[in-house]
Amino acid sequence: MNEKQQQQKAMSWNDPQVEGYGRTISLKIPGYFMLYDMTDRLMNAMLGPEREKDILVVGAGGGQEIVTLGGAHPAWSFTGVDPSARMLAIADQRIRMERLQAGVTLHEGTADQLPKDKLYDAATSLLVLHFIKGLDQKRELLRSIADRLKPGAPLFLAAISCDRQEEAFAVQMSAWQSHMLDNGIPLEDWERFAASLGAESDPVPPEQVEELLREAGFSHISKFFGSYLITGWFAVKASGEHNIEEKRQDK
Tell me the average pLDDT across 9-35: 71
Instruction: Report the percent of the chain where pLDDT is more than 90.
Output: 83
pLDDT level of residue 16 (50, 70, 90 thresholds): very low
The whole-number pLDDT of residue 247 equals: 45
- pTM (two decimals): 0.88
Please name each of the domains of the chain with its CATH number. Answer: 32-162+203-249 (3.40.50.150)
| Distance between CA atoms of residues 244 and 134, nearest Å | 31
pLDDT level of residue 22 (50, 70, 90 thresholds): low
